[in-house]
Amino acid sequence: MLVNSNRKLSQGSLAEVESVAELISNQIRHVPKIGIVCGSGLGGLADVVEDKQIIKYSELEGFAVSTVPGHVGQFVFGLLNKTPVMLMQGRVHVYEGYPLDRIVLPIRVMWKMGIKTLILTNAAGGVNPEFKVGDVMIIKDHLNLPGFCGINPLIGINDDRIGPRFPPMSDAYNREYRDIAKETAKELGFSDFMREGVYSFLTGPTFETVTECRLLRLIGTDATGMSTVPEATVARHCGMEVLAMSLITNCCVMEFDSDQKANHEEVLETGKARSKDIQKLITKIVDKLSPQ
């Protein structure tokens, strides 16, 4: 059952977070150590989780349900290369009409369940002209453009039990984790399609105009998408360490006379084509990040 979008506390209450976390904890066999959010077309990672249990978002009161193709809409619990994990197989977005407190609720539930490491993935459009479809970009920083207009999941009354009123974001993406991701990609022979750069968040659901793409490049964006930043923001707010990666599923159109058009089918196809490599990469990264 969705909550009233007119509620005054946009962050969601700690009591709600604790209630959902307790409900889930009472149903699962493995206490998760690492949380993973699977973006568009990347939900196949759940296929390699062993001894898994599934809890659908629709079974949890207050949880928003995914409405976008490529987002199944369920938690997957189990072992990824012997590490207990909690996967979000699909996420919800601002453009689906949900308030931000619903979008980030799963991240806070992960935090309350004891998860200290969060891996975020997404499908993104390549803004950097050197990027190709199928590249994987490790996010080193982000640009929250909607935040300039007051769209931020931390707006509202702050609960100091969750995190500080003014959390720094200059270290949003853990440097050590990024180095581990690059090292792991090299070990797997993936260096040719690995990148590192800045991700910009836009609400969507429209893909960008030519002028918008040019502006994004001008201000330092390498890839752009419609997710991840709200999740990374609340994760850092409550003290979680974050690694985030974008699969470049299309190249942003930079010329007015171009016949090229972005579409969601291309996003899903690219995700499918690169899914095995992403699975190998994340599985090995999880092994290295796993608490002893």
226 is catalytic: yes
Catalytic residue among 64, 66, 88, 96: 96
What mean pLDDT value characterizes the chain?
Answer: 90
Which of 69, 126, 123 lies closest to 244, judged by CA?
123
- Sorted by where each begins, the domain ranges of the chain are 14-289
Catalytic residue among 144, 227, 246, 275: 227
Which position has the token pair 């084509």? 273
170 is catalytic: no
231 is catalytic: no
For the domain made up of 14-289, give the CATH fold: Rossmann fold (3.40.50)
Catalytic residue among 16, 46, 64, 93: 93
95 is catalytic: yes
122 is catalytic: no
pLDDT tens readout for residues 251-290: 888 888 776 766 667 666 766 778 889 889 999 999 999 8
Catalytic residue among 25, 81, 264, 290: 264
250 is catalytic: yes
Here the tokens at position 246 are: 């974008």
Say whether pLDDT at 7 is over 50: no
Confidence of residue 185 (pLDDT cuts 50, 70, 90): very high
d(CA 202, CA 212): 11
Residues 6+ apart with CB under 8 A from 114: 31, 32, 33
40 is catalytic: yes
- The pTM of the full predicted model, rounded to 2 decimals, is 0.91
d(CA 97, CA 213): 24
pLDDT tens readout for residues 214-246: 999 999 999 999 999 999 999 999 999 999 999
93 is catalytic: yes
The rounded percent of the chain whose pLDDT value lies above 70 is: 91
